[in-house]
Amino acid sequence: MSSSSHRPLTPSRVTALVLRRPELIQPNEREIIAQLQTAHSDLKSAIELAQQFASVVRQRLSGQLDAWLNKAKNSSVSLLRS
């Protein structure tokens, strides 16, 4: 088990986990993300949108930015709608 599983779950750690490249996420970290997503539907939407945004930025898919913005504006997450 990695040492990251022993660290407290802080907002910074959650952000780092959510935005990490999918291929670098360890199985225990995937479990943490899954638990967060089941905790609240808005949190699930926020995580999914954050991961999608990170993918658009990493892959430089500027043509997909407008579609992502529309998803964010129509999401259940009030902070992303504005």
Q: Give the pLDDT of the chain (82 residues) as one tens digit per residue.
A: 444 556 788 999 999 999 999 999 999 999 999 999 999 888 999 999 999 999 999 999 999 999 999 999 999 888 888 8
Q: What pLDDT, on the 0 to 100 scale, is given for residue 5?
A: 55
Which residue carries 């943490």 as its tokens? Answer: 32
Return d(Cα 71, Cα 78) in angstroms, integer. Answer: 12
pLDDT in tens, 64-82: 999 999 999 999 888 888 8
**Helix-helix angle 41-58:65-73, to 10 degrees:** 170
12: which residues sit within 8 A by CB, 6+ positions away?
A: none
What pLDDT score was predicted for residue 52?
A: 96
